[in-house]
Amino acid sequence: MYEYPVEATLEVIGGKWKTLILCHLTYGPKRTSELKKLIPEITQKMLTQQLRELEEDGVILRTVYNQVPPKVVYELSELGESLRPVIDVMCDWGERYIQGKLPERGDSGL
């Protein structure tokens, strides 16, 4: 099915906003409006779409509370929990990257 294993990973978390969403969900369950507030640049449409795909891939759970106003909560599934090491190492690299604690950029600096 996949030429290389990493393609499977990309299939699951490769969406434009998926890793960021999962990153926020590692801190606990979040409802839609919370995620929207945590990721202001995302549009409602893309948020819904990416959440749907994550749900279909079984990495997050979606719980709907039948009430008015509506309440929908998303959280990591067991499979999603298994992605923690991936998320963590990505967050970690990003931190060091921002803080300049990584090797210099490999080019001539232009």
Provide the binding-site residues for DNA, judged by CB under 7 A. Answer: 15-16, 31-33, 36, 41-49, 51-52, 62, 64, 66, 68-72
DSSP character for 101? -
Shortest distance (Å) from residue 31 CB to a copy of itself: 18
Tell the smallest beta-carbon distance from residue 96 to DNA (Å): 26
Q: How buried is 22 (Cβ within 10 angstroms: 0-12 exposed, 13-18 middle, 19+ buried)? A: buried
Closer residue to DNA (CB): 33 or 82? 33
- In angstroms, what is the minimal distance from the CB of 60 to a copy of itself? 7
Nearest by Cα to 31 from 49, 12, 51: 51
- Report which of 40, 36, 45 is spatially closest to residue 74, judged by C-alpha positions: 36
* Residues near a copy of itself, by CB under 8 A: 1-10, 12, 14, 16, 19-20, 23-24, 39-40, 55-61, 76-83, 85-87, 89-98, 102-107
